[in-house]
């Protein structure tokens, strides 16, 4: 049978019986104190391992949240793309120019008379689609705006407050009758 570590140290002369007895007595007292007072000695290695596990869990949760956010963005873009492709309206082969602004740029789209009428009445809206622009019905534009307001470029019913104010100021002459014989 193999000798215990204590017996091996005694045999080699590295320790004496007095120190062995003292170590046994300390271990016995610690065990008794733990049982009596339910004191748990903290092991630094266990604490460090637990902290490392918690840090890894937190990092994993953060990475999972980021991937979920990216997946949600992709899903929204796919929904917008589907709404546009299913509901896009024909522009018609017209020669009328429909000017609209995209940010600070002025863009133009050639449409027929019927389509221009629908755009100005607020039945159709212009939305950004990939590298170009498409026409969609206003209810579809509302759904697209719920998902991403930047995709809807032009809506006739979305007149800004400044434009309304200037149009109200221009209407001061509306009470005056224009003579029939006036020629421009």
Report yes or no: 135 and 91 within 8 Å, Cβ to Cβ.
yes
Q: Report the pLDDT value the prediction gives residue 70, as an integer from 0 to 100.
A: 95
Q: pLDDT (tens digit, 9 = 90+) per residue, 160-172?
A: 545 555 555 666 6
pLDDT value at 158 more than 60: no
Q: What is the average per-residue pLDDT within 149-178?
A: 68
Q: Report the pLDDT value the prediction gives residue 161, as an integer from 0 to 100.
A: 46
Q: What is the average per-residue pLDDT within 81-94?
A: 85
Start-to-end C-alpha separation, the chain: 122
Q: What is the average per-residue pLDDT within 69-95?
A: 88
pLDDT classification of 91: cutoffs 50, 70, 90: confident
pLDDT value at 67 more than 50: yes
Higher pLDDT, 58 or 104: 58
Q: Report the pLDDT value the prediction gives residue 57, as an integer from 0 to 100.
A: 95
pLDDT value at 183 more than 70: no
| Long-range contacts formed by 153-157: CB under 8 A, 24+ apart | 153/100, 153/101, 153/102, 153/107, 153/125, 153/126, 153/127, 153/128, 154/100, 154/101, 154/119, 154/125, 154/126, 155/122, 155/125, 155/126, 156/119, 156/120, 156/121, 156/122, 156/125, 157/122
pLDDT classification of 63: cutoffs 50, 70, 90: very high
pLDDT value at 109 more than 90: no
């Amino acid at each position: 049978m193999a000798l215990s570590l204590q017996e091996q140290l005694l045999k080699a002369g590295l320790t004496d019986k007095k120190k062995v007895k003292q170590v046994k007595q300390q271990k016995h007292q610690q065990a008794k104190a733990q049982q009596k007072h339910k004191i748990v000695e903290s092991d630094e290695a266990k604490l460090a391992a637990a902290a490392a596990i918690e840090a890894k869990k937190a990092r994993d949760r953060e990475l999972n949240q980021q991937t979920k956010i990216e997946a949600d963005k992709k899903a929204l873009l796919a929904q917008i793309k589907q709404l546009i492709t299913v509901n896009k309206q024909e522009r018609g082969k017209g020669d009328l120019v429909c000017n609209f602004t995209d940010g600070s740029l002025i863009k133009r789209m050639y449409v027929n008379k019927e389509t221009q009428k629908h755009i100005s009445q607020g039945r159709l809206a212009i939305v950004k689609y990939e590298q170009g622009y498409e026409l969609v019905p206003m209810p579809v534009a509302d759904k697209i705006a719920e998902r991403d307001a930047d995709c809807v470029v032009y809506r006739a019913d979305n007149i800004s407050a400044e434009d309304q104010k200037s149009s109200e100021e221009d209407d001061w002459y509306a009470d005056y009758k224009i003579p029939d014989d006036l020629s421009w």
